[in-house]
Amino acid sequence: MEKLLIEGGHPLRGTVKISGAKNAVLPVIAATLLGQDRPSLLEEVPHLEDVTTISEIVRSIGAKTEYNAEKETLTVDATNLTATEAPSELVRKMRASFLLMGPLLSRYGHAKISLPGGCAIGTRPIDLHLKGFEALGAKIEIGHGFIKVEAPNGLEGNRIYLDFPSVGATENILMAASTARGQTILENPAEEPEIVDLANFLNVMGANIRGAGTNPIKINGVEKLRGQEYMIIPDRIEAGTYMLAAAMTKGDVFIENAISEHLKPVIAKLKEAGAVLYEDVNGIRVSSDKPLKAVDIKTLPYPGFPTDMQAQFMAMLSVSEGNGSIIETVFENRFMHVEELRRMGAKITVDDRRAEVIGIPELKAARVKATDLRAGAAMVLAGLVANGETTVTALHHIDRGYDRLVEKLIGLGAHIKRVEE
Ligand code: EPZ
């Protein structure tokens, strides 16, 4: 097992380039399974464990994949798939594997996937995904640890209302409806930039999707889709994480490739906290020369404040001036990082979905663990400002979603290294 050793107190300075978005590339790789007569070539594909995992899964059902780490390109040839059932040991590793259900159902009329791994941040049901498939005419069978969907007569467009704007359910329904007969109107969909990226890729493949990123989304089914070339959008959560690191360490960093449009709530809250931000077409520059002021955060579906930045902001509030509060409205159990931050001296109280943070001048280095992907990022941020050398373990969580984190932080002057336990 490896661990991170982080010596706090070094302001971050310089430029960091943001990689392709994890939460865009995963649904886009699932969508490549709809490409019937030519391979897809994806660009700006980040070096992430989750990309490796989903590539293994699509290969297990007959797709051919090739990742060029140098060029950051991934080729997926799904012209001849051999199965519509994904292996459970791989699927359990990553909830996003459930995104294969929509494309396989759409292309072959059936799919069988083991129930997605529950995640540290809550039970994360899939009822809205299944409601969408049923509305399109599929029959659902829930077995022991797996789900089977079948539509022997193909899928029929329909009007679907999502009780919650679920990102995954929106993505699965977009992919399933793309080759259904007739029109599907998806009401109350997720509006995240990653939804728009998926819809753009599907349209480049030949789909007819209008209104992604707004409410409702209209999908006019087409006969078939072809593999295509596509460039993945930059990762707004990776960008937000480095923006916070720059401000917390009283540094001055240019976050190259960050798209301001995708980060409005994060930009607003950092400005409210007293950081100085400059936005231009190539990225966002973030600096601060004094302690940040506490702010109040309430996570919401896009375009509200992103739940995937909540843990990182809690690390920031721990050492801000004043008291801040965080309300987590998207997941029912996304405060696992509180315990770890308390080990560093943070003063945090939690009541159900609300956390109150009393800012203190300094965190103390400690041995802490990543409890999930974004909590791991929060512990790294805390380590960058803590007094002493912080150890962070359970790095597999961080490797799922941060591309070359240590390398990028060292490039900004952080004193961080990854060593064997
Ligand atoms: C996506 O997860 C992201 N993952 C998550 O990012 C992100 O936190 C989340 O969207 C919200 O923005 C990927 O894109 C791979 P949801 P997803 O379906 O699709 C409930 C990260 O750190 N719900 O929008 O699983 C669910 O319980 C990860 O990069 C239902 O009730 O999120 C949750 O409370 C973490 N029924 C809420 O909706 C359903 O059928 C949001 O879930 C589906 C979801």
pLDDT in tens, 271-282: 999 999 999 999
**Which amino acid residue places its CA nearest to atom 17 of ligand 1?**
168
The pLDDT assigned to 146 comes to: 87
Position in ligand 1 atom list of the atom nearest CA 26: 15
Q: Which listed residue (5, 81, 90, 119) is catalytic?
A: 119
**Which amino acid residue places its CA nearest to atom 6 of ligand 1?**
308
At 211-259, the pLDDT tens digits run 999 999 999 999 999 999 999 999 999 999 999 999 999 999 999 999 9
Q: Order of strands across the sheet with 73-77? A: 64-68, 73-77, 40-43, 229-231
For 4-14, what is the mean pLDDT? 98
The pLDDT assigned to 119 comes to: 54
* DSSP H stretches of helix in 2-138: 22-31, 49-60, 88-91, 101-108, 127-135
Hey, is 304 helix, strand or coil?
A: coil
CB of 44 closer than 8 Å to CB of 69: no
The pLDDT assigned to 123 comes to: 64
Q: Which residue has the tokens 């909590």?
A: 375
C-alpha 353/C-alpha 17 separation (Å) is: 34
Q: Which residue has the tokens 């004094």?
A: 290
Q: What residues have CB less than 8 Å from 157, skipping those under 6 apart?
A: 136, 177, 180, 181, 182, 183, 184, 219, 220, 221
CA 421 / ligand 1 centre spacing (Å): 32
Q: Over the Cα atoms of the chain, what is R_g?
A: 21
141: annotated active-site residue: no
Q: Which range (110-124, 223-237, 268-282, 343-357) has the least confidence?
A: 110-124
C-alpha 218/C-alpha 195 separation (Å) is: 13
C-alpha 196/C-alpha 123 separation (Å) is: 26
| Residue 229 backbone dihedrals phi, psi, to 5 degrees | -90, 145
Task: Report which secondary-structure segment, H or E, holds 176.
Answer: helix 167-177
CA 167 / ligand 1 centre spacing (Å): 6
Residues near ligand 1 with C-beta < 6 Å?
A: 22-23, 26, 95-96, 122, 124-129, 164, 166-169, 190, 307-308, 330-331, 373-374, 401
